[in-house]
Amino acid sequence: MIHACPQRMWYVNEFLVPSMIAQGIGKEEIEIWCDTEGKGNLQSCMESFRECGDRAKKSGDIGSATWHLQDDVLICRDFAERTRDLPDGIVCGFACQNFGNFIHERGRQPVQFLWYSFPCIRIPDTIAGECAQWFFTRAVLREKWKEKIEKRKGDDWFFRNFLFERHSDMWVLQLDPGLVEHVDWLIGGTTINQQRSWKQTRAAFWEDEELVRELEEKLNRR
């Protein structure tokens, strides 16, 4: 599932999806969740999580999981291969030096060390559905979070808090090298965090720098 906003659909359609198909991922396997109604990052994400949970219930496949990608990433050259045959559970495919104090907690880790990995993360669909239910029935009622919710972002922050509250004994897998590079600076910059003092939110563990240069050249030609 690619989480997108309308102003980034050109990149999703012309670059991100074709790069996934080129690695053998079926077009029918890729779902684009675009916030066409302008609900904001947080609301749109939680609605997509609810949809994932509902599908798992309807299908009876309680072991299903979904890779969630954001609309401003570049996948590594072996993304399709590396996302297959991983252990069950949450898998983080992105880490950034600017996000949190657990950058070096790689491999299998307790959930307390979870990375801010929403540019690329695999979440069991039942967990996603449970997070959405928690958000819409619990989190939105908490006065201390009212201001944060009104900003319409922070989906990763709320997901972490959900896990700490409901699944504090869970373990997660955090990949090094990562699966994606964050390339928002090449396609217009951040759409929701203009206040950040840093302009690039690069992956801490990334080995395909040549792909970044190739993408930059393609974008320049476009």
In this predicted structure, what is the pLDDT of residue 195?
46
More confident residue, 219 or 100: 219
Q: What is the mean pLDDT of residues 130-139?
A: 98
In this predicted structure, what is the pLDDT of residue 100?
67
Residues 153-163 have pLDDT tens digits of: 999 999 999 99
CA distance 68 to 119: 7
More confident residue, 1 or 189: 1
Which domains are assigned to the chain?
Answer: 2-221 (3.90.550)
Average pLDDT value over all residues in the chain: 94
| DSSP track, 30-85 | --EEE-TT---HHHHHHHHHHHHHHHHHHHT-TT-EEEEEETTEEE-TTHHHHTSS
Q: Measured at the alpha carbon of residue 177, what is the angle toward residues 172 and 180, in degrees to the nearest 5?
A: 90
CA distance 185 to 42: 22
CA distance 94 to 204: 8
Alpha helices in the chain (DSSP H): 9-11, 17-22, 41-59, 79-82, 125-137, 146-150, 155-166, 209-221
Confidence of residue 201 (pLDDT cuts 50, 70, 90): confident
Whether the predicted model's global pTM rises above the 0.85 cut: yes
Residues 21-62 have pLDDT tens digits of: 999 999 999 999 999 999 999 999 999 999 999 999 999 998
Q: Can you read off the two tokens belonging to residue 141?
A: 């009622």
Compute and round to an integer the Cα radius of gyration of the chain. Answer: 17
In this predicted structure, what is the pLDDT of residue 199?
57
Confidence of residue 188 (pLDDT cuts 50, 70, 90): confident
CA distance 40 to 37: 8
In this predicted structure, what is the pLDDT of residue 189?
67
